[in-house]
Amino acid sequence: MKILMVAPTPFFSDRGTHIRILEEALALEKIGHEITIATYHIGRNIDPEIKTKIDVRRILRLLFWYKKLEAGPDWQKIMLDLMLIRKTFFLARTQKPDIIHGHLHEGVLVGWVVKKILFWRKMKLVSDFHGSLTREMVSHGYLGGGVLKKIFNFIEKTIDNLGDFAITSSWENTEEIKRFRKDGKIETILDGVDLDYYQNLPDKEESKKEFEIPAGKTVVVYTGALVPNKGVGYLIEAIPLALEKNNNLFFIIGGFPVDQIKKFIQERKLGDYFRIINPLNYFDLPKILNAGDIAIDPKDSRVNQASGKILQYMGAGLPVVCFDKSNNREYLDEGAFYAKDFSPEGIAKGILELAGNLEKSREMGKVNKEKAKSFSWMKSAEKLDKIYKEIQPY
């Protein structure tokens, strides 16, 4: 089939939303589908790094000053999304796709508008929800309480009912949407991990030397967006608590934006305990994680997002410190330390526990690497393929 993906985001950037969009598209392409991605005017081109025929089409650069790559709402995106409707309409009219696959709530709304305008084409819309729109805006500080939040809750629930079929990236989000999606057509399509990326890596000690990590240190890794709704505040506050009791720890932090973490390191005079990697290239992730002994995912339950980074940690064979959430337990089972309460103290306790028993930690990592085989992008693509054929049988 011809699939037109709508990505209301600066595709490609090295973070979870973009990784899901890219890897879904690549896996669907391997099955035989023809993929076009409509997206913003900014973002990194994927052609130099991947062999693919995916056609990435961008809106005009009218908002040439808009260069925000990190996650989070921005009122200027309203104008960008209006331009994305125009681009999606043009592509739908000229390419005649069988399926419009809308990513995020904005992408679903764009796809729905275009589908309605071109109703005689009988295109089908798949709604791909990556989390809660309202909760994400609250977590980024764009919404408080009151009337505005109620308005966005209404908009979110309306969009959650759009499309011929809905998919989510987490069990938690699926259960929430099930409660009010009228047709009941919703399924969890998990993120995956490509284990081929983790083949033929050097010895762990060699990787540590490559990143100039002092010998004998226990390396704790976090990779991903360095923004509040990813739980980075918990991590930053947990680090000095852990170092107070174990100064043999060393932290690799990869992601963006880095201003907050750099300021924290300077103020606390902790430069000897850190390696900051920015920009973080998604395709360099395997060798970065290969240098780690313990991985951290401090995301709490506010936005009902899945955690693609956990799957990368599993692919690298790392034990994980995270909060006690149903999604995390489904992924990790016995391969993690689960902090019982959402607090820096819980994260610090997990770091110290795993660092204090590295033999047990390595065994947990082996369990995670084996379990990662169950989470492949191809399995996700096969489920999507089945949904496409169910709603568009010709």
Task: Say how far apart CA 299 and CA 178 lie, in whole Å.
Answer: 23
Q: How far is CA 54 from the centre of its chain?
A: 20
With CA atoms as reference, report the closest residue to 172 among 143, 132, 217, 225.
132
Residue 146, pLDDT above cutoff 80: no
Model confidence over 64-77: pLDDT tens digits? 999 988 777 788 99
pLDDT of residue 257: 87
Q: Is the pLDDT of residue 332 over 70?
A: yes
Once rounded to an integer, what is the mean pLDDT over residues 247-272? 93
pTM of the shown model: 0.89
Res 301 pLDDT > 90: no
Please report, as a single letter, which amino acid is at residue 246.
N
DSSP of 28-59, one letter per residue?
HHHHT-EEEEEE-S-S--STTT-----EEEE-
Residue tagged 């992730």 (tokens): 285
- 66: exposed, middle or buried (C-beta count within 10 Å: 0-12, 13-18, 19+)? middle
37-57 burial code (b ≥16 CB/10 A, e <16): bbbbbbbbebeeeeeeebebe
**Any idea what DSSP says for residue 143?**
-
Q: Do residues 129 and 19 touch, judged by C-beta distance below 8 A?
A: no
Does the pLDDT of residue 354 top 90, yes or no? yes
The predicted pLDDT at position 70 comes to: 79
Instruction: Give dist(CA 281, CA 15) in Å, integer.
Output: 9
Domains identified in the chain and CATH numbers = 2-192+376-391 (3.40.50.2000), 195-374 (3.40.50.2000)
Strand, coil or helix: what is 3? strand
Give pLDDT, residue 305. 65
Give mean pLDDT, residues 39-45: 95
Q: What is the mean pLDDT of residues 113-126?
A: 97
Instruction: Give the lowest-confidence range in 132-146, 156-170, 306-320.
Output: 132-146
Task: Provide the pLDDT for residue 162.
Answer: 97
Lowest mean pLDDT among 53-57, 281-285, 355-359: 281-285
Instruction: Check residue 306 and give its pLDDT.
Output: 67
Residue 298 tokens read as 């401090």
**Does the pLDDT at position 247 exceed 80?**
yes
The pLDDT, as a whole number, for residue 49 is 84
The pLDDT of residue 171 is 87
Q: For residue 240, count CB atoms less than 10 angstroms from its CB and return exposed for 0-12, middle for 13-18, buried for 19 or more.
A: middle
Are 151 and 341 within 8 A, CB to CB? no
| pLDDT over 90, % of the chain | 78
334 touches 364 (CB < 8 A): yes
Region 340-349 average pLDDT: 95
Condensed to tens digits (0 to 9), the pLDDT of residues 203-217 reads: 999 999 999 999 999
Average pLDDT over all residues of the chain: 93
Q: What is the mean pLDDT of residues 266-294?
A: 94
For 29-33, 40-44, 139-143, 180-184, which range has the lowest pLDDT when averaged over its residues? Answer: 139-143
Region class of 48: left (phi > 0), else alpha (psi between -120 and 50), else beta: alpha
* pLDDT value, residue 304: 61
State mean pLDDT over 218-247. Answer: 93
Looking at residue 379, its pLDDT comes to 93
Q: What's the pLDDT at 172?
A: 86
Averaged pLDDT for residues 96-124: 97
pLDDT, mean of residues 33-48:
95
The alpha-helical segments, DSSP class H, found in 141-258 are: 146-160, 171-178, 204-210, 232-245
Omega before 97 within 30 of 0, i.e. cis = no
Confidence of residue 141 (pLDDT cuts 50, 70, 90): low
Residue 302 reports pLDDT greater than 70: no
DSSP state of 269: T
